[in-house]
Structure 1
Amino acid sequence: MTISPDRHFLFAHPAHFIALGFGAGLSPKAPGTVGTLVAFPFYFMLAGSPFFWLWALAFLGIGVWACGVAGRALGEHDHGGIVWDEVAAFLCVLPFAADEPWGYVLAFALFRLFDIWKPFPIGWFDARIKGGFGVMLDDVLAALFAIGVLFGVSAWR
């Protein structure tokens, strides 16, 4: 049985709080898009750290756990309210964006495009790999696609 997350669910377990992006996943409209925005403050806090990529890996690893726990509790492994996968994956895209407003907007748009569209092999993996790892994997692949396009834009400029 699938349940709809609410504030009670959000605070019932630390994994729920993380998986729902500290509440961003409760957005009634476009929770994945709202959740993606949660990556920005983390990026600006961590961008200068020599341990940025360790933090990013920690976000991804925590996401496997949190998204798995929340998905089981919600009765749907990749419920729309689970947005930590967007947070962690988009955090990995941001270092490749031009350090200007248009660069961040482009990175955001590309990541959301690939996360929603799910071109091959993203959609293939999304349909076959379940649980917390599967929830995270399709977003990591969308991030890699976005990074690839950002590299192309950078080379073209």
Structure 2
Amino acid sequence: MVLQPACQAMIACRLVALLAVLLLAPTAIPAQDDAAIVEYMRRLGPELAERYIALRDAQAAAVAELGRATERYNAGGPALRSVSLPALRQAKRRYAETSLALLEFLDARDRQVIGRLEADIERLKRGLDDRARARAELEHMLRNE
């Protein structure tokens, strides 16, 4: 099957638009969830919240720029695509960089939280064990009376 150049261009435009939608969709955090994340991080430390906000805002700016670059690329037509392609590639690169920075930040924070939770779990398990021993001693005391 041979496609006409115009059909190839339409398919390419649709693929670029689909790629932009797929890239942008999974990282969007609803405003309500984002506010809860910021508040939680403020409780952990103001500098943590500020770093998250800076990374989040950088990613949002990169998402917006990628959307604008995609629109320019799609609107330009086949003759102007070569002109707008470098800007589109740069916008994709910036989006990937900012998204990775945000993911790395969140992963590091989550690892710290997991470490604290694991320490708390061990402390709770020791408490359960101590109470189990005390319970056994008390039950033994009751049986021997």
* Structure with bigger gyration radius: 2
Greater RCO, CA 8 A, separation 6+: 1
Q: TM-score, normalised by structure 1?
A: 0.27
Q: TM-score, normalised by structure 2?
A: 0.28
